[in-house]
Structure 1
Amino acid sequence: DQYLVYRPDWIDAWQAGKLLGLGDDEDWQARLWRYLDDGSQSAPHRVALWEKLLAQLDKSVLPQRLFVFGISTMAPMYLQLLHQISKHCDVFVFALNPSSQYWGEVIDEAQILKRGDEADLSQAGHPLLASLGKQGRDFFDFLSEVETEQDIQVYEKGKDDTLLHCLQNDIQNLIMPSERLYQQEESEAGAQQAWVQV
């Protein structure tokens, strides 16, 4: 089921009897898929339905405008569907992006350390952004790459008066918690020095 949603290209290749060089387990998975989809099912699988839908998209059956609200991630298959629909009508995506900065390369420190000798912790970003994972990053990467008529970003400059506001500002501006602590220590040291000089 996950392959049908996230890897329709694999399904198409396997259906055609091809392998994509995905590793040792691909051969048996491709054979298992062909066995499961041998044509005896009464209804087509999700990838076949999706491809049929894409082929039959027509302005006459679509609304003038389509609005998509409140999502922070979406499977590539559905993003491609929205992109195809946008060729026939206006599509407005109101995405809940936690950061005003590009965070497509923010990776969890544990994942970086798994790389062994190649580990570079400078790629680590804010831990809460990293926790959104690859799917969240891929979603916003896709949105940033799609040709749009208008991209309106709405971010307000936040306050630093509470711990929650500090956290929100750090995520919005890609500031690591350690950087904020360093800035705060520098600021306190400067204030202390100024007090001593008076």
Structure 2
Amino acid sequence: MRIIGGSLKGLRLNPPKNLPVRPTTDLAKEALFNILQNQIEFEGIKVLDLFSGTGNISMEFASRGAAQVISVDRSIHCVNYLKDASRQHKLEQIKVYKEDVFKYLQMETEQYDLIFADPPYDLNKIPEISKIVFERNILKPGALLVVEHQSMQNLSNHPAFVEQRKYGHSSFSFFRADE
């Protein structure tokens, strides 16, 4: 696992083996950021990273100039690893919270330029993520929600759905808030 762009490009991340995670592969992450860089100016954006796990996506956004990255995961081990890694690499824009993502979304009142969610693939509530994000209005106008999920799952029935990109067994579904 490595940072693929920005000020920390090439940095290898070596999280403990016992973290309860399925990190986004470097190949899928590179494809995702190639798509995003054609749609978003990373410099100065506010990002919400749900089910942040190792924090490799949070760190990628911070490396590329995001002004603020809020990372949410319910595993204390993941939270501690990301806090330590952020401190070690002087990524003060990353704020990490130990919380159930669905509870966090119900309480959130801020708006974001981009929300990334990488839930466990076996979570049966994945379609609820987009539903809650749009009901709670936590995306700025024109902003994106990206949900990583198994390729066999279809999230296209939400009205804000834009497209699904498949990378082997993993897919990214993109949703856009109205301008």
TM-score of Structure 1 vs Structure 2, range by shorter chain: under 0.3
Rg larger for: 1
Higher strand share: 2
TM-score normalised over the length of structure 2: 0.23
| TM-score, structure 1 normalization | 0.21
